[in-house]
Amino acid sequence: MAAAGNIDAKALRGLFDDGEELAVIDVREEGVFGQRHLLRCANIPLSGIELSVRALVPRAGTRIVLIDAGDGLAARAAATLSAMGYTDLKIMTGGVEAWASAGFELFSGMNVPSKVFGEYVEHHCDTPNISAETLKAKIDAGEDMVILDSRPMDEYHRMNIPGGIDSPGAELAYHVRDLAPNPETLVVVNCAGRTRSIIGAQSLINAGTPNKVMALTNGTMGWHLAGLELEHGATRKYEAVTDQGLEWSQEAARRVAEKYGVETIDIGTATRWLSETEARTLYLFDVRSPEEYEAGHVVGSRYAAGGQLVQATDKYVATSNARIVLIDDTGVRATMTAHWLIQMGWTDVFVLKGGLEGMPSVSGADASACLEAESAQIKSIAPSEISADSLIVDLADSLSYRDGHIAGAWWAIRSRLEDALTKLPSAKSYIVTSGDGQLARLGAQNLARLTDADVFALDGGTDGWRAAGLAIEEGYTNLAAEREDIFYKPYDREGTVEDAMNQYLDWEIELINQIKRDGTLVFPEFAP
């Protein structure tokens, strides 16, 4: 296994500007990461690093710098990554606070590069916006308008502006002529807060939509803070694109590609790049709807809804200066996504010409099997075999645990199992579970090294337990760790949700000033 070297903060700062591939990974829990972290890094917590690192950093030879709080997590992560085949590993000495001590900026929050980009776009393009109060008055007056919600269906279904239609990010330009065929119809784009409202509205403007387009100021949060009622449980969405809608959107995408320098590659180039992945990182993203992706997609491509790829780029791509190829069936959604990634500073972004035609394809959801989980040397146990003197330990994220866990189970964080053992009741055996069971197998293997008790992984995880109709309870009933694994969104926090919303919106708006002080991320300028 390769040994990890060390690098100080100033040397790391220099790597950001050398143009070579680099993955900076903060391995602390998300809730801790969200308090203070570097701007240009991805958060891949040690607790589940085996489950996600190959998707985020697919090339084993990538330069990787690991960051923690100076508490040894990075060294543990380096050992794991080395065992997985990663060969170029360094640890930033002193942890995240060493970055601040060197005079560099630290950020709070999640998906910050994408969030600050949204604020930059609004400032640079002067994206039109409309307040919740003004929009409500127009709705009450029966004005001709359509409200398009730019979030994925699960977020839209949870809460939306009354009457809004779900049309996630990259779908907006693809479907707008069918959703608002009358050019006199006002089009209002919203999300939960700001970023996807701004990017969505500006997407339609960039595409040359003849309608007046506006972003809803502060999205559903702004609507709620104005004292207005949100709709819950809605399922309205766009219909299949018509011939006229397709013709307009493809012409719009052509204009966008010309203005922003979106390049296409052919099958031959894509095939050659796929053969070069040991020397150069390649990300293949399918930006169609989840239903289209599951019906059939290019082998090796990952699903990434276009709007989400722009909204949370660091959740999909951890290697800077990598190649990114976007795929859809008509070129519209891929082009609209690409033109935003280019404006975010990604230089090697391409659209696969012809989409899926001529490429090997497969159906089904993203393959998510983890080799390390599958090969874990741990015994499994069926629910019917669990004895009364066993203790169930749940390693799912704390929100999932809160919303439904096996009755009587205790919650813990995998990277802190040694500490959790001091809080867990003693037991003859421990049964480790998680959502689908993969994390449970990894955690059970860790736990077995820390105790003399028998340790098992629950067959099928909590999902299997629930499917069998066995007892589930809600709430934070038994905690063996602090709930620092999740950076809670305003809607998920306890206490006064309005205070959390206001704090979030203030934070988002201030990012435009903070990024100027940081200097590690500069967006290329295009004429509005």
Domain tally, the chain: 4
Residue 273 lies in a domain: yes
298 and 410 share one domain? no
Q: What is the CATH number of the domain that holds 129?
A: 3.40.250.10
User: How confident is the model over 297-311, as a mean pLDDT?
Assistant: 94
- Sort residue 208 into left (φ over 0), alpha (ψ -120 to 50) or beta: left
Residue range 123-132, pLDDT digits in tens = 999 999 999 9
91 and 121 share one domain? no
| Cα–Cα separations (whole angstroms), residue 397 to 31, 176, 371, 487 | 11, 37, 21, 11
Q: What is the pLDDT of residue 46?
A: 98
Contact between residue 370 and residue 376 where contact means Cβ atoms under 8 Å apart? no
259 and 245 share one domain? no
**Local confidence band at 1 (pLDDT 50, 70, 90 cut-offs):** low
80 and 132 share one domain? no
Residue range 60-99, pLDDT digits in tens = 999 999 999 999 999 999 999 999 999 999 999 999 999 9
92 and 147 share one domain? no
34 and 153 share one domain? no
318 and 424 share one domain? no
Contact between residue 307 and residue 170 where contact means Cβ atoms under 8 Å apart? yes
366 is written with which tokens? 């993203």
Instruction: Sort 256 into a burial class: Cβ within 10 Å, 0-12 / 13-18 / 19+.
Output: buried
User: How confident is the model over 201-230, as a mean pLDDT?
Assistant: 97
The model's pTM is 0.95
Residue range 380-415, pLDDT digits in tens = 999 999 999 999 999 999 999 999 999 999 999 999
Alpha-carbon torsion angle 371, 375, 376, 380, nearest 10: 110
Print the domain residue range for 287. Answer: 254-357
138 and 219 share one domain? yes
Within 10 Å of residue 450's Cβ, how many Cβ atoms?
Answer: 13
131 and 243 share one domain? yes
Q: What is the pLDDT of residue 525?
A: 86
135 and 61 share one domain? no
Residue the block writes with tokens 């990434």:
304
Q: What is the pLDDT of residue 491?
A: 78
